Amino acid sequence: MTEAAATAKTNLLGLPRPELEAFVAGLGEKPFRARQLMTWIYKRRVGDFAQMTDLAKSFREKLAQVAEVREPEVITEQASSDGTRKWLLRAAATDGREQAIEAVFIPEPGRGTLCISSQVGCALDCSFCSTAQQGFNRNLGTAEIVGQVWLANRLLAGDAPGGTDTANRAVTNVVLMGMGEPLANYRNVLPALALFMDDLGFDLSRRRVTLSTSGLVPQLRKLAEDTNCALAVSLHAPNDALRDQLVPINRKHPIRELLDACWHYLDAQNGRSITFEYVMLDGVNDRPEHARELADLLVGHDAKVNLIPFNPFPGTKYRRSPAPVIAQFRDYLNSRGVTTTTRRTRGDDIDAACGQLAGRVHDRTTIRLGSKLLPLTVQS
């Protein structure tokens, strides 16, 4: 079979249950066949139709003609001294040039968190983030997003080539905190979220699936109507003047507008709290007055703050805040009644820590959201 013919097949990893049922019905089969397929794919991690022995042979033959379970291809894998694993995954080429994304697995006692990507690159241009400096190429499809979790589970369980028998380190939590802004790829992220939380899919509770956003307010308000997952918001500054510099989307959706959308999300979904991520930049956003402003914004709301020690990357102008400064910032917020923790840096020796993912982005359009120059450049 030619490569073109193979890629024309429907990748079942990208189909939430209703769409899979419709696909199966189109093949003349009853809806329960979709449930059988989901059990094989997600519970047993089997992608070869020939091995799905409780499906009728005629149905398996039909599936082989029109469908596939296609996982991302691993280009490289790196292991950190702390057990973190990072995979560089091939994304479909654009204009003949290879694209790649990154996914990171972080093992902890009783928990395994997979950080996944939603775009090839990112267009939001946050100044302290390595991914943003790569520019933006395209959105990932639903199958490419879901495939990162499916592949990681197989690798961690030893099912896939190159996998290790570490079934006790399966993915228990998924965070959309890798490359890209998830809400800028809403159409493809939403069905992926459905599969993560479907009891016939990955069967993760809503508290174990976290979407991280820099603040696309219209999409955030829509999200409140469409799904119910945990929410993390990349805040990083307590006032608009500073956030305009660090997170340019703030020029379009300032802090008050963003926070209104956050509280709406909690009300609509009866959520427990929203986590606000705050990268600690030496001399930039880590002063006592910044802590006071941040507390004033969040006190009295169901909010938690996660302080992130800045993770450097080549060419950055920023430095990590000293540990005593981070501790003082944290302690002040806690004293004001805003629950605050400091994120433990993981995988920084393989550039897998927060803000360090870069992937491989070619033919990119570098976009400066909030700038008068939009786009800045188009590189061939």
Angle of helix 142-157 relative to helix 186-197, nearest 10 degrees? 40
Catalytic residue among 102, 144, 181, 277: 102
- Phi-psi bin for 313: left (phi > 0), alpha (psi -120 to 50), beta? beta
Report the C-alpha gap between 90 and 99 in whole angstroms: 6
* Alpha carbon separation from 50 to 43, 47, 196 (Å, rounded): 17, 9, 25
∠ CA 298-304-306, nearest 5°, is: 115
Token pair for 11:
């990748």
User: Which 3 state secondary structure label does DSSP give 137?
Assistant: strand
Report the C-alpha gap between 368 and 299 in whole angstroms: 32
- CB of 26 closer than 8 Å to CB of 13: no
CA 200 to chain centre: 21
CA 377 to chain centre: 26
Asked about 102 being catalytic, the answer comes back as yes
Helices (H), the chain: 3-7, 17-26, 32-38, 57-66, 142-157, 186-197, 217-226, 240-246, 255-269, 288-298, 323-335
Asked about 277 being catalytic, the answer comes back as no
Token pair for 103:
């996914």
User: Which 3 state secondary structure label does DSSP give 77?
Assistant: strand
The residues annotated with a catalytic role in the active site are 102, 354
